[in-house]
Structure 1
Amino acid sequence: MWGLKHKSYNCERCGKDFVSRAALRYHFQAKHLWKVYAETCSKDLVPESSSHHAKNHHEMTQMGNLRSCWTRRKTKFGAMEVSTSCRMCSRQFGTVHARENHEKQEHHFTTSKRGNISILNMMKSSHYQLFFPAYKTPTGVKYFMEAELQPIRGPARLACASEVEGMIASIKEVFPLPITYITKGGSYIKGTDIQEWSDVDIVIFSNAFKDLEDCQKKVTEILEELGRRLMKSSWTNRLIFQKRTSFSLRVYFKCYKDHHGHLLDVMLCYDILWFAVSSGLKESFYHQLYLCSDNDKIQLYTMALLKYQVEFVKASTQRLKDLIRLIKHWFKTSFAKSTKENRFRRLPSSYAVELITIYVWELAGKPIFFSFVQGMRAVLKLLVQYQDICIVWHKHYKPNFAIFQKVFLKQTRPFILDPVNPTFNVCENSNAWDEVAYVARKSLLKPLFNGMQAKEPWLFTNNW
């Protein structure tokens, strides 16, 4: 009898599990049928009261030109459905609910099982044990930030910068084509790197190509030639070549006295935005990107936007960058490693983490001085209700821009529109937001946050 496996039937509206389909049907008819689901507070409302409820309880927060819609919008539950893929196999689904049903039926991967995998790995992590139980006060977290996360300063940092620039100069020297200019990105350039981890992105633009299609055809061959030349250069003993993608050459670069290193991605692109250097981004570029259906070509288009993505994050204050480091550390140490069981799981990207943290800081009024613990608590509380996230900035495209309006109307949750690319929701590549919410909820119960009350300027989190 112990070996028998039974199916569980999960309510997509409230998450409760039932032993039979009939029980689930009775529950849904009794509790949810003909009711409107208010995303922001997870309540079912009768249609007559839904508009009144939204007006009184879901006021929109406005910060300068920041457009936030997640605190006011009400919708039926199906509006949050999103194209996604299974975390255990490569099968694609049209909605997150279809994906989760497949995971339960085919892989027996229930919510509780998924949660246990994350929490067990989280509790076994030495970094996690070091961070949450040991540092229970804001002062302790500040010490942890300065001692463990902030990059080493002084002469060592200057030597590191010199080494990185020397590596880039060597790449320019052996590059097979004439170079128009180079754009640098990654956490090291943005100033969000941590002591034990740093990445540098380099996009080399060249007008040696006839057009974007010509670049697309030749990029693989040119990057392979660059790899061969680097292996023959004076830096060869300090480079560890990683798995190469279609559009990038990836190497691990041993830096200053081999004390640490940088993951270096070298990419190549045709200079698509040459016409917009002096006048900013052109709407015609966004139109071309929106209409493009070739995934490889889309990657080349987005490379041209790296400079503006870097500028958006790099403009953050130093204390905000430290908060970003804390959130990245939490992501790195709080989730299960990839295994055969969850090998297709994709957690949010580093860029998405940076944007969420910046958004929460802006909601707080862009404070110069603030508590790291209060800031981290605010980010975790937002992640718990990921289905309500809707974040847009209008620095590079206006609210009346046709492409933005089309993408905005088709939005799926969570929705974080790239500040420099109105065609790309940075959340859409992740299929594990429910897992992120689960781990964030458990983290908020740890001594560091448990019982903590919001203080100025974080009082808005009381509504979350």
Structure 2
Amino acid sequence: MWSLKHKTHNCERCGNNFSSRSALRHHFHVKHLGRIHCDTCGQKFSQGGPQDHVEIYYEKTHPGNQGSGCNIERETRFVAPEMSMSCRMCSKQFGTVHAREHHEKQEHHFTAGKRAQMSMAFKPESILAYKTPLEVEKFLEAKLRPNSVLRRACASEVEGMIALIKEVFPLPVAHVSKGGSYIKGTDSQDWSDVDVVVFSDAFKSLEDCKRKTPAILEDLVGNLLTSSWRNRLIFGERTPFSLRLYFKCSKAHHGHSFDIMPCYDILGPALLTGFKKSFYNQIYLCNDNDKIQLYSMALLKYQVAFVKASTERVKNLMRLVKHWFRTSFTKPTEENKFRRLPSSYAMELLTIYVWELAGKPVFFSFVQGLRAVLKLLVQYQEICIVWHRYYKPTCTVFQKVISKQNRPIVLDPVNPTFNVCANSNAWDEVAHVARQSLLKPLFNGIRAKEPWLFTNNW
């Protein structure tokens, strides 16, 4: 265990420690002085800059939505912007989770009772009222798992859409990386998303990509609107680095949510062993969140491969976990509009971890598996999950990151700089809802059986 032998000076704004007052003053002047915190989106920006933050930034990133505030419902897929230390009610940032929680209690009277009221809402379609494992199996097959015949029909449709994106993309396309629940095989009948990262050799550098991407996305929208599939596309919000649209399949009444992201091909065709250390170090040392987003896009296919390698039964358990999420929580209100629940990617990784603890069984009870995930969520403050397949315990970046992270920690299996749990500021709400879910009829009288006996210690 490490211990501090000397007095440190703590920055109240970001929580970093410094060995002297002069070092703390220098840090505060450089990092915080003259920077304004936006109560609407939680970002910090330079005071007196050349462009007005609200009128310029918001109008560019949310066209047609001026005057309604920031639309930040989109899940952050690649970057964890210290969301865990932002207030759920006003989005102010704090140096520690403890400081944030103290602020919520003092300023917003966010008591345990209020948390319960604002977090939990079991919907009628929840499976928690079921009483037997067989009912869960039937529900999974009837309501969650995509129909195999329909999925085969979707395959050609989705590939056709990706081919269209490549055809009308404003720059020459070197190759694409595909991700999302549809590609990983964790989609459900009522939700399917596809991520498409488009790599082009026309980008000279990461900075060049960052500068050109907004205009490229604008041109891409125009090209898609003049294509023969324009009537099957519904355009959603646009960020500086991605375009979201809903693609309607020609058969049946369903579709797929697409996120299209241009990117500089910094990795090339493979993440070579000799290059990984340098690449991870570049991400760790980068202070530009936009560039970190672009760096991390290059890792998409490795994230997909990690989840996709799971067995079909594990993917079905992921569907159940995500269904529990969708049917157990309230939607944010105007009062707590900055609440951010964990991402679906975080839930997938937690499910894989629990399955691996059970010894990777081929056949297992879904009720036992779901119970194990919920019991793990209850003790979120003890979660520290790392996979050493792409980076080793001796990796310098890994050692630096793990020493600084607040729990819960689930490090991205392919990116040691990314704690996927840091995208959420509501883990206490997740634990509360999980604890109440374990009291529901589905788990009444259920005891851990082999290979799930380890959950008795939870």
Give yes or no for TM over 0.5: yes
Question: In which range does the TM-score fall when normalised by the shorter chain?
Answer: 0.7 to 0.9
Say whether 1:200 aligns with 2:194: yes
Q: Counterparts of 1:111 and 1:194 in 2: how far apart (Å)?
A: 33
Instruction: Identify the residue that residue 142 of structure 2 maps to in structure 1.
Output: 147
Does the 8 A contact of 1:82 with 1:412 survive in 2? no
Instruction: Identify the residue that residue 108 of structure 1 maps to in structure 2.
Output: 109
Q: Counterparts of 1:411 and 1:217 in 2: how far apart (Å)?
A: 31
Gaps of 5+ in 2: 1-81
Residue-by-residue CA offset, 1:49-85 (whole Å, 9 max, x unaligned): xxxxxxxxxxxxxxxxxxxxxxxxxxxxxxxx99601
Letter of the 1:251 counterpart: L
Q: Indicate how the Cα distance of structure 1 residues 276 and 197 shifts in structure 2: closer, same or farther if over 3 A, else same.
A: closer
Instruction: Identify the residue that residue 98 of structure 1 maps to in structure 2.
Output: 99
Residue-by-residue CA offset, 1:347-386 (whole Å, 9 max, x unaligned): 0011100000000000000000000000000000000000
Instruction: Identify the residue that residue 11 of structure 1 maps to in structure 2.
Output: none
Task: For 1:24-423, list aligned pairs within 5 A.
Answer: 84-119=85-120, 121-122=121-122, 125-128=123-126, 131-133=127-129, 135-154=130-149, 156-274=150-268, 276=270, 282-423=276-417
Q: Counterparts of 2:327 and 2:269 in 1: how far apart (Å)?
A: 44
Q: Indicate how the Cα distance of structure 1 residues 441 and 83 shifts in structure 2: closer, same or farther if over 3 A, else same.
A: closer
Does the 8 A contact of 1:83 with 1:94 survive in 2? no
Gaps of 5+ in 1: 1-80
Q: Counterparts of 2:155 and 2:108 in 1: how far apart (Å)?
A: 48
Q: Indicate how the Cα distance of structure 1 residues 82 and 254 shifts in structure 2: closer, same or farther if over 3 A, else same.
A: closer
Percent identity between matched residues is: 71
Instruction: Identify the residue that residue 17 of structure 1 maps to in structure 2.
Output: none
Instruction: Identify the residue that residue 61 of structure 1 maps to in structure 2.
Output: none
Does the 8 A contact of 2:382 with 2:408 survive in 1? yes
Does the 8 A contact of 1:82 with 1:94 survive in 2? no
Q: Counterparts of 1:213 and 1:127 in 2: how far apart (Å)?
A: 47
Q: What TM-score do you get using the length of structure 2 for normalisation?
A: 0.80
Does the 8 A contact of 1:136 with 1:447 survive in 2? yes
Residue-by-residue CA offset, 1:311-361 (whole Å, 9 max, x unaligned): 000000000000000000011111011210110000001110000000000
Q: Counterparts of 1:257 and 1:237 in 2: how far apart (Å)?
A: 14
Task: For 1:4-43, list aligned pairs within 5 A.
Answer: none
Does the 8 A contact of 1:281 with 1:396 survive in 2? no
Partner SS for 2:148: coil
Residue-by-residue CA offset, 1:411-453 (whole Å, 9 max, x unaligned): 2100011100011111011000000000000000001112211
Q: Counterparts of 2:297 and 2:269 in 1: how far apart (Å)?
A: 16
Deviation at 1:274, TM superposition (A): 1.5
Does the 8 A contact of 2:84 with 2:423 survive in 1? no
Q: Indicate how the Cα distance of structure 1 residues 141 and 280 shifts in structure 2: closer, same or farther if over 3 A, else same.
A: farther
Partner SS for 1:423: strand
Instruction: Identify the residue that residue 12 of structure 1 maps to in structure 2.
Output: none
Q: What TM-score do you get using the length of structure 1 for normalisation?
A: 0.79
Deviation at 1:109, TM superposition (A): 1.9
Q: Counterparts of 2:114 and 2:278 in 1: how far apart (Å)?
A: 48
RMSD of equivalent CA atoms? 1.5
Tell me which structure has the larger Cα radius of gyration: 1
- Of 201-210 and 81-90, more deviation after overlay is shown by 81-90
Q: Counterparts of 2:83 and 2:380 in 1: how far apart (Å)?
A: 13
Partner SS for 2:324: helix
- Of 101-110 and 160-169, more deviation after overlay is shown by 101-110
Partner SS for 2:306: helix
Q: Counterparts of 2:275 and 2:416 in 1: how far apart (Å)?
A: 12
Residue-by-residue CA offset, 1:110-169 (whole Å, 9 max, x unaligned): 1111112323x22xx2222xx222x21111100011001000112x22111110011111
